[in-house]
Amino acid sequence: MRNNIKIERARHNLTQADLAEKIGVSRQSINAIEKGKYVPSTVLALKMARLFKMSVEDLFTLEIDD
């Protein structure tokens, strides 16, 4: 699964720490999710999408191997 978190963070001028705080996770979790180290829970995905005013589908996209 890939994601556009880094791009949306840039659009909204947020650091990883900012985003982490806004959705209630640690900065390292944001970093790991952003880098594709692991798949976030649906709650996190929904919160991020809501924050960025976009759909979960536009923020996260399935890949062939998912």
Partner DNA sequence: ACAAAAAGTAAATAAAACTTTACATAATGT
Partner DNA sequence: ACATTATGTAAAGTTTTATTTACTTTTTGT
> Interface residues with a copy of itself (CB under 8 A)?
1, 39-47, 49-50, 55-57, 60-62, 66
Sign, Cα dihedral of 30, 34, 35, 40: positive
CB of 36 to DNA, least distance (A): 10
Check: CB of residue 54 under 8 Å from CB of residue 8: yes
Binding partner of residue 54 among DNA, a copy of itself, none, CB cut-off 5 to 8 Å per kind: none
Q: Could you give the CA distance from residue 26 to residue 57 in angstroms, rounded to a whole number? A: 23
Window 25-54: residues binding DNA (CB under 7 A): 25-29, 31-35, 38-41, 43-44
**Which three-class secondary structure state does DSSP give residue 53?**
coil
Query: Residue 15, interface with DNA (CB under 7 A)?
Result: yes
